[in-house]
Amino acid sequence: DETALAPILARRADWIRDMQARQARQREADPHGGGLRPREIRLAAIDEHWQVDYRPGAARILRAAPQARTLLVAAEADDTAVGRALRQWLQRRARAVLPDWLAEVSAETGLRYRSVGIRGQRSRWGSCSARGHISLNRNLLFLPPDAVRYLLVHELCHTLHLNHSPAFWQAVARHQPDYRAREACLREAATRLPLWVHAI
């Protein structure tokens, strides 16, 4: 009965407005949608778009169906378990793609490295050690391909200069003349990652 509902809505109007504002902020911060339980995942770096299907009674928390580009997730799993399973899946996708991509850019630029690892850092897209080990963030998969390529060039240039000196930036500019625009893209992208990519 609508007449009974009106007073309830009136009493809860402030709460409803607060919830709507919170959801709007969450959508703005999480353009990939879905908050902690996404319905789709777009990996721009490798031009993949995955649907996430929450199914009751699933035997495992997450199972990938690559042919259909679908992730089958147990509907009963709590947000923490879903987030952990999605991060593990993202880690596997990144390991399957980023090391080969780094090897290609290394061959193209002539900049050598010793080894590569994939991690889920909160504050860095990548890093390079004095021994030539490059660590890449799995969340690079959410970035446009040209931004990822720039980050790979950036880390490879650290094999020459373990700092951000003028000599380092000259090396970067030789291989990526528009590096300033790419730096801006990385800064912007860091604020727009899906909410589930970091553990709560």
For residue 11, the model assigns a pLDDT of 83
Residue 93 maps to which CATH number? 3.30.2010.10
Compute the distance between CA of residue 193 and CA of residue 83 in angstroms, rounded to an integer.
13
pTM of the model: 0.82
Q: Please provide residue 73's backbone torsions phi and psi, each rounded to the nearest 5 degrees.
A: -120, 140
Note whether 45 and 117 are same-domain residues.
yes
Which domain covers residue 11, as residue numbers?
1-30
Compute the distance between CA of residue 177 and CA of residue 170 in angstroms, rounded to an integer.
9
Compute the distance between CA of residue 89 and CA of residue 95 in angstroms, rounded to an integer.
10
If you average pLDDT over residues 106-114, what whole number do you get? 98
Note whether 21 and 38 are same-domain residues.
no
pLDDT tens for 5-57 read: 777 778 878 877 765 665 565 555 544 455 789 999 999 999 999 999 999 98
Note whether 114 and 54 are same-domain residues.
yes
Note whether 24 and 40 are same-domain residues.
no
The total number of structural domains that make up the chain = 2
Question: Which of 143, 193, 135 has the alpha carbon at shortest distance from 159?
Answer: 135
